[in-house]
């Protein structure tokens, strides 16, 4: 029995945490998982021990060039962007691009992160021609947890954005998943897993990645809203 150190993007936490539980039960190995934003992963990979890294492919490409990760790449899945409000708040219309645009203009505040989701939303709002109108009422946070906390404690017409998986998982915090972005402007962030050359548990790391590729693991991820 060994302990595996895993560093992962937070957007896949709802599904990946359940896969980790199943892997531990099946193998007897222990997995110590740390979930962070992509910028934090880039920083932490050089400061803390990790055997497996789960991150967007572009970040993994950079880490490969830097010699931080290597070997075969295993796709975990992809996650879209969703809209949330606090429980009891009026539900904004988001089914079409025009409805979403109007709902954002009518909102008292807009909340999203500085990670992959937030970077995409910045460009989207500019494309929709509403970036200037939203600027004065936008609040951004480093990670999804802070976004969820802000929206759940809101008092007015806040509209929050985040990975669909994280919003659905935030139901216990008093949040409502209004729906995904309309299909024509939806943006999916893909996530993949790789091992670190310097990891202390390389054999177990490869075993975990092979487990990710199994149908049972894919079913667990799909149930959490991660498209595999």
Per domain, the residue ranges of the chain are 3-78+190-223, 81-185
| pLDDT of residue 42 exceeding 80 | yes
The pTM of this model reads: 0.78
Task: Report the DSSP pairing between strands 52-55 and 175-180.
Answer: unpaired
What's residue 49's pLDDT? 80
Exposure of 85 in the CB half-sphere (CA atoms within 13 A): 20
Asked if domains 3-78+190-223 and 81-185 share a fold, the reply is yes
- From CA 87, how far away is CA 148, in angstroms rounded? 12
- Which residue from 99, 107, 104, 98 is spatially nearest to 121, judged by alpha carbons? 104
Identify the architecture of domain 81-185 in CATH: 3-Layer(aba) Sandwich (3.40)
Taking the domain 3-78+190-223, which CATH number applies? 3.40.190.10
Residues of the chain with pLDDT > 90, as a percent, come to 79
């Amino acid at each position: 029995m060994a302990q595996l150190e895993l560093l992962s993007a937070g957007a896949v936490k709802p599904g990946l945490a359940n896969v980790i539980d199943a892997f531990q039960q099946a193998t007897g190995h222990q997995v110590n998982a740390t979930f962070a934003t992509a910028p934090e992963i880039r920083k932490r990979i050089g400061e803390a021990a990790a055997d497996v890294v789960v991150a967007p492919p572009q970040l993994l490409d950079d880490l490969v060039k830097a010699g931080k990760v290597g070997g075969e790449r295993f796709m975990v899945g992809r996650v879209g962007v969703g809209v949330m409000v606090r429980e009891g708040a009026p539900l904004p219309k988001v089914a079409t691009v025009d409805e979403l645009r109007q709902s954002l203009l009518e909102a008292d505040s807009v909340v999203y992160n500085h990670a992959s989701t937030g970077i995409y939303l910045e460009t989207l709002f500019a494309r929709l021609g509403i970036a200037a109108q939203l600027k004065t009422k936008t609040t951004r946070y480093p990670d999804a947890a802070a976004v969820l906390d802000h929206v759940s404690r809101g008092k007015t017409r806040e509209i929050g954005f985040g990975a669909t998986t994280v919003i659905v998982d935030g139901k216990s915090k008093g949040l409502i998943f209004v729906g995904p972005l309309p299909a024509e402007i939806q943006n999916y962030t893909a996530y993949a897993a790789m091992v670190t050359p310097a990891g202390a548990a390389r054999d177990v790391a490869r075993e975990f990645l092979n487990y990710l590729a199994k149908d049972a693991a894919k079913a667990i991820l799909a149930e959490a809203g991660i498209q595999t």
